[in-house]
Structure 1
């Protein structure tokens, strides 16, 4: 049986309690995934992270963590690269303590480099990060290279697949809205197109990327440069269409985590879960 989990990117907007009680709250409303947002820096203490991880385990909540936005592994400044590596390693430590299986991160920016030059710099830095994570004994923590939404960012589908092929601890994180925005609305438009993305990940990266497939979803506004802003699922004039993505995931039979990056976080995670349950019944999956 295919299992798709749903949860918010960050603390639920309708929850006013302490962070360590988020798993219990999510379970109470019917969600089963949580992406802890460390996008402004990894500030959670080890003890708090361990309590959060134990609570997530108790309530069967799949944990992930989003590393700081201030990461640019392809920077032309070595100091920036070193700080970026340190931030990623600190996020990996927090992930280990909170039993999160994946550290989601944005690889970097092209800036003055060609895409290939930027990729090469990021690859070198990631291999160094991987070496330190292994030496620290942070087992069962993967690095999730996210597909990015702007054309100026390192993180096309091709690039995150390549990184996952070349670095053992890296897997692709498929942000459907970002792929849609980066392609100016030409990808993530049909079931066959979404299936082709899933099949590429499965064929070119292998099983490590599907344990489970980690994804983000929301609708999005884009301009010629790509991503502008995430919007709610009820927005009729924007895409992508969640039902298209969900049908493809069910057809592919891939266990998946879908993190809601909608401005209304858990509310749209619940909307997606309802669509998933309807389609699962309809398709006999």
Structure 2
């Protein structure tokens, strides 16, 4: 049976405050924090060497920590320029190589923006680029790496929940990365009670089935948003003005028996807030293996 996982995206401020300096020390830090997942950040490019990746693989594996990789932010699966779409395939491939070398199995991807074309046209381009990514991964023997297109927070970005699920329909290996902070921002605070989160999971199950619904990749943080733009700023769990709250999501995860990997993207307190989510999950009746 799979286990639900909690962890941070990148390094919390406390990582450095506790005297740590380098990524090879991250597994020890995460163990101290009671966490079992980590999202390695390649947002500004995939720069890790094979030697360092192999070292990290051993260290993370030793502590039982599941590793995912966030692909470069400048990926644009929906660009009107073919050269940029081809480049995006290469960036996904680079990220997948890094994930595999570190013992990870998930690559999180921003799909891009709509630019000057319609959402329908942008989605068609993203679907075509995703197909090319799948072929490239298969050709390199990386078919075990799962692409996770992310629900985005700004309204002009491609990446509504519905658009992400359309991409996921291309292949059983593709998992949605449901960023609930983004989803809350683009619905102007639409995620409040358990019923709001339940509706999200019902939609996922309807579109791509119960198996993938139970093992989705989740990003979670409180996010300041504007109307009509959407996402503006990542916050911490200390914030009381903007949502969403994790407790109602924890209730639904327990109710549905979901075992996602949950990555916290709070601003500077992502490990602490990930640990807080773990406790909220346990308080809701969840169990850990």
Query: Which TM-score band (shorter chain)?
Result: over 0.9
What is the aligned partner in structure 2 of residue 119 from structure 1? 123
1:13 maps to 13
SS at match of 1:91: helix
Asked if residue 262 in structure 1 is aligned to residue 261 in structure 2, the reply is no
Q: 1:155 aligns with which of 142, 146, 159?
A: 159
Cα 1:215/1:31, change in 2 over 3 Å: same
Q: How does 1:180-199 map to 2 (within 5 A)?
A: 180-186=184-190, 188-199=191-202
The correspondence for 1:145, drawn from 149, 169, 187, is 149
| CA deviation vs aligned residue, 1:110-151 (integer Å, no higher than 9, x gap) | 011100000000111110111010010014210000000011
Q: Closer, same or farther in 2 for the Cα pair 1:165/1:4, shift >3 Å? A: same
Greater per-residue strand proportion: 1
Given candidates 101, 104, 107, the residue that maps to 1:103 is 107
* Contact 2:134/2:143 (<8 A) preserved: no
Query: Structure 1 residues 229, 63: CA separation in 2 closer, same or farther (over 3 Å shift)?
Result: same
2:106 is the counterpart of 1:84: no
CA–CA separation in structure 1 for the residues paired with 2:251 and 2:177 = 19
Distance 2:143 2:264 in 1: 27
Alignment of 1:1-285 (within 5 A): 3-15=3-15, 16-186=20-190, 188-206=191-209, 209-210=212-213, 212-224=215-227, 225-263=229-267, 264-280=269-285
1:233/1:2 CA distance change after superposition, 3 Å: farther
Question: What's the secondary structure of 2:175's corresponding residue?
Answer: strand
How far residue 241 of structure 1 moved from its aligned partner, in angstroms, is: 1.1
What is the TM-score normalised by the length of structure 2? 0.92
Is the deviation greater in 29-38 or in 272-281? 272-281
2: CA distance between counterparts of 1:210 and 1:44? 31
After TM superposition, give the deviation of residue 182 of structure 1 in Å: 0.6
Q: Is the 8 A contact 1:6 1:257 kept in 2?
A: yes
Counterpart CA distance in 2 for 1:17 and 1:75 is 37
Query: Aligned with 2:285: secondary structure?
Result: helix
Question: For 2:14 and 2:79, how far apart are their aligned partners in 1?
Answer: 38
Contact 1:2 1:253 in 2 (8 A): no
Query: How many matched pairs?
Result: 282
- Is the Cα–Cα contact under 8 Å of residues 201 and 213 in structure 2 kept in the other structure? no
Mapped to 1, the partners of 2:211 and 2:52 lie a distance apart of: 29
Q: Per-residue deviation at 1:196?
A: 1.8
Gaps of 5+ in 1: none
CA 1:12–1:272: 2 relative to 1, 3 Å: same
196-205 vs 206-215, which moves further = 206-215
